[in-house]
Amino acid sequence: MHRDSTVLHLRNGGTSVILDFDGGGFPAVVHWGEDQGDLSEYEVQAIVVASLSQRVSGGLDQPARLTVLPQESAGWQGTPGLRGSRQGRSFSPDFGVTGVESGPSTLVLLAIDADAGLTIRLELDIDSAGVLSQTLTLTNAGLDDYQLEDLCVTVPLPATATEILDTSGRHLRERTPQRHSFTIGRHERESRKGRPGADATLLLSAGSAGFGFEAGLVHAVHLAWSGNHRLAAEKLVTGSVFLQAGELLAPGEIRLTPGQSYTTPTVIAAWGHGLNELSARIHTRLRARPTHPATARPVTLNTWEAVYFDHDLDRLLGLADAAARVGVERYVLDDGWFRGRRDDTSGLGDWYVDDGVWPDGLSPLIERVTGLGMQFGLWVEPEMVNPDSELARAHPEWILQPGGRFPVEGRQQQVLDLSHPDAYRYILERLDALLSEYPIRYLKWDHNRDLVDAGSSRTGRAAVHENVVALYRLLDELKARHPGLEIESCASGGARVDLGILDHTDRIWTSDCIDPIERLTIQKYTGLLVPYELMGAHIGGPASHSTGRRHDLSLRAGVALFGHLGIEWDITTLSESEATELSAWIDLYKEHRPLFHSGTAIHVDHPDPAVDLRGVVSDDQRTALFVFTQVRTSSFYPVGPLRFAGLDDDSRYQVRMLAESSTGPDAGQSPLSWSHQPLTLTGRALRTIGVQGPVLFPEHLVVIEITSA
Ligand code: DGJ
């Protein structure tokens, strides 16, 4: 076997990428996924040769291969990696590689098409968690403008990928999973909302039939970007199977003048035997960032569902006292504190404390909060403006608009154009002034409408891209000016959850729905991307404000353990025993938060959808906490064995139920064998045989502690 082409085998964190530089064009991606081990040059070449397909009747004379940037000029007939033109010309570039720099797990590649006047720079990296990340930079090296339509990263999938998993959703029900068979054609998920959207799929995953959390080979991509995007899974008759991810650009949004460049957002790609392993890679990557929150995530009280717009100082002081009593560590004053904001129809943009409602400013509240030993946080929605505000009346030109008219309103509001230097300066100055005047340690940064018609009044051109760039700059600038400031990304709940925003903020608000039954699904699928410590999870009142359902505190709190825990409930009305019970849950969270916020998130696949079993296992596999929720009644009665994943097969563990399962119909007469007496079992027995689950009323849960014996 002699070939002249150069091959590269990049490896890190259990992941391999094999590239074949054949023919001078972009390298073919022969493999992305499981580590192939330490291979000789011959062995890598052999893998490449083994992957070459035959020419077939009716096809082109040279079968097209999937490359890092598939192009029509190489015979590729799937969706190309680059689309654009110079007024229709240069529509099908033909790049030749001019430079390659590679390390054991990194690659920087330069390519040029001199005739089309375009250059490409690809940066590829496999990190120590085995996550592959890539960006592409396109530069216009020609003499006239180049209109970019699409530039996306492409990664190959194994032929075993026959099923797609993504999520849909809506306000109050983000991240609803949907599965499809992966047939020939293209499955595309787009956002045209100027933010990822409540329906955004955080990951687009494709895997072997029936893949789950514990098993089945699965690969996925994510775009670290907070604006419009496109994720796609495509299968061609030629056998090419791949995922693509890139920003979705509006017509004319990116027009590169000579010398100008466009860089894609980072595309994150991860794989695993089961979604638990895939997610763990992404979580590990995030936790390795120098900016990852390093302090214990403070128990938060958010005032929204407790008081809504009723900003009565005495009421809010009472809430602060009650919060401190049950162990709250951060108090966040939500919407309603600024000028003209008595409800959600007015005031956005006028970021001054309303002196009618707060005659002495925010100090009386902040002093009480900090005096009680809690941090103070404040809600803002800086990108938005109500037409009924002083700001909108003074500067209608600062509103995003297509030219000559305003977009349809959403929640009675419009969107500011942060790419307008004066609008940007005003918002920066206002927020900076508030942060300088008051000891505000935390901003809940909201964004309550989808964008449509989002153009700049200065250029008349689409401006979503520029606004995302300006937003990131604004967040960074505020953090630089106010060291230690933490920011939460909220967008009508979870409509802006992505790793782009999380590079500039410290947690996301997962959903406006805090009904624990809904939250089980919302948190499970948000958690595919976001680790527990970055995911806001609150304990609401007994009756959910968004579904009307009532639940015991144990369910509301047990589900909120799997996140950055908070309270969103008027706890001034609690009886002594209710307050004691709430404190006990908060103590449990505090005791176990180092585990939740550093360990591996585990979901156990169970054949019965009425059973939810989720947990977290410490890195050294010595400690774990699981929660079994009887979501609704099961067909099996009793429910049958519960298995536990993520443990070390050969270690022995003590399994203990933390809260007694006293909520089942027959619990008193026939207690479960291990409910009062911990059992010792091997990790293997726990994974393969399990322990009999307690009989619970529907919508109830138990917490199970597993520690190395
Ligand atoms: C939407 C958020 O998701 C809620 O938590 C709350 O902050 C409201 N906005 C306030 O208007």
Give pLDDT tens digits for 414-470. Answer: 999 999 999 999 999 999 999 999 999 999 999 999 999 999 999 999 999 999 999
Mean pLDDT, residues 271-276 taken together: 98
CATH of 64-287, one of 3.20.20.70, 2.70.98.60, 2.20.25.240, 3.40.50.12780: 2.70.98.60
- Name the residue among 57, 41, 50, 53 with its Cα closest to residue 7: 41
Contact present, 319 and 307 (Cβ < 8 Å)? yes
CATH of 602-708, one of 3.40.718.10, 2.60.40.1180, 2.30.30.90, 3.30.830.10: 2.60.40.1180
Ligand 1 pocket test, pick from 171, 195, 304 with the greatest ligand atom count within 8 Å of Cβ, gives: 304
> For position 4, what pLDDT does the model report?
80
Domain with CATH 3.20.20.70 in the chain: 300-509
448 CB under 6 A from ligand 1? yes
The burial of 337, by beta-carbon neighbours within 10 Å (0-12 exposed, 13-18 middle, 19 or more buried), is given as: buried
Q: Tell me the per-residue pLDDT of 547-603, one tens digit each, with 9 for 90 and over.
A: 999 999 999 999 999 999 999 999 999 999 999 999 999 999 999 999 999 999 999
CA of 423 from ligand 1 middle (Å) equals 23
337 CB under 6 A from ligand 1? no
512 CB under 6 A from ligand 1? yes
> For position 677, what pLDDT does the model report?
87
> For position 3, what pLDDT does the model report?
80
335 CB under 6 A from ligand 1? yes
Q: Tell me the per-residue pLDDT of 475-534, one tens digit each, with 9 for 90 and over.
A: 999 999 999 999 999 999 999 999 999 999 999 999 999 999 999 999 999 999 999 999
CA of 213 from ligand 1 middle (Å) equals 32
Q: Tell me the per-residue pLDDT of 88-102, one tens digit each, with 9 for 90 and over.
A: 999 999 999 999 999
Which of 446, 450, 498, 515 is flagged as catalytic?
Answer: 446
> For position 661, what pLDDT does the model report?
46
- Name the residue among 377, 378, 375, 460 with its Cα closest to residue 417: 460
CA of 335 from ligand 1 middle (Å) equals 7
Domain with CATH 2.60.40.1180 in the chain: 602-708
* Angle, alpha carbons 392-397-400 (nearest 5°): 90
Residue 371, C-beta contacts closer than 8 angstroms, at least 6 positions apart: none
CA distance 35 to 8: 13
> For position 669, what pLDDT does the model report?
67
Beta partners for residue 31, in sequence order: 18
- Residue 88 belongs to what H/E stretch? none
Which of 166, 512, 515, 612 is flagged as catalytic?
Answer: 512
Residue 369, CA distances (Å) to 322, 340, 441, 540, 614 in order: 11, 24, 12, 21, 35
What percentage of the chain reaches a pLDDT higher than 90? 96
Ligand 1 pocket test, pick from 300, 332, 341, 490 with the greatest ligand atom count within 8 Å of Cβ, gives: 490
Q: For helices 553-560 and 576-596, give the axis angle rounded to 10 degrees.
A: 20
Mean pLDDT, residues 381-388 taken together: 98
CA-nearest residue for atom 1, ligand 1, is 492
Going by pLDDT thresholds of 50, 70 and 90, the confidence category of residue 20 is very high
Domain with CATH 2.70.98.60 in the chain: 64-287
Domain 300-509 class?
A: alpha beta
Q: How many residues does the chain have?
A: 709
492 CB under 6 A from ligand 1? yes
Q: Tell me the per-residue pLDDT of 599-658, one tens digit each, with 9 for 90 and over.
A: 999 999 999 999 999 999 999 999 999 999 999 999 999 999 999 999 999 999 999 998
Task: Give me the chain's average pLDDT, please.
Answer: 97
Contact present, 624 and 617 (Cβ < 8 Å)? yes
16 CB under 6 A from ligand 1? no
Mean pLDDT, residues 153-166 taken together: 98
Contact present, 247 and 229 (Cβ < 8 Å)? yes
145 is catalytic: no
Does the predicted model carry a pTM greater than 0.85? Answer: yes
- Name the residue among 454, 487, 466, 388 with its Cα closest to residue 421: 466
CA distance 204 to 165: 6
Q: For helices 576-596 and 313-326, give the axis angle rounded to 10 degrees.
A: 60
Residue 633, CA distances (Å) to 38, 544, 609, 636, 638 in order: 51, 20, 10, 9, 10
CA distance 107 to 188: 28
CA distance 519 to 517: 5
Task: Give the three-class secondary structure for 24.
Answer: coil
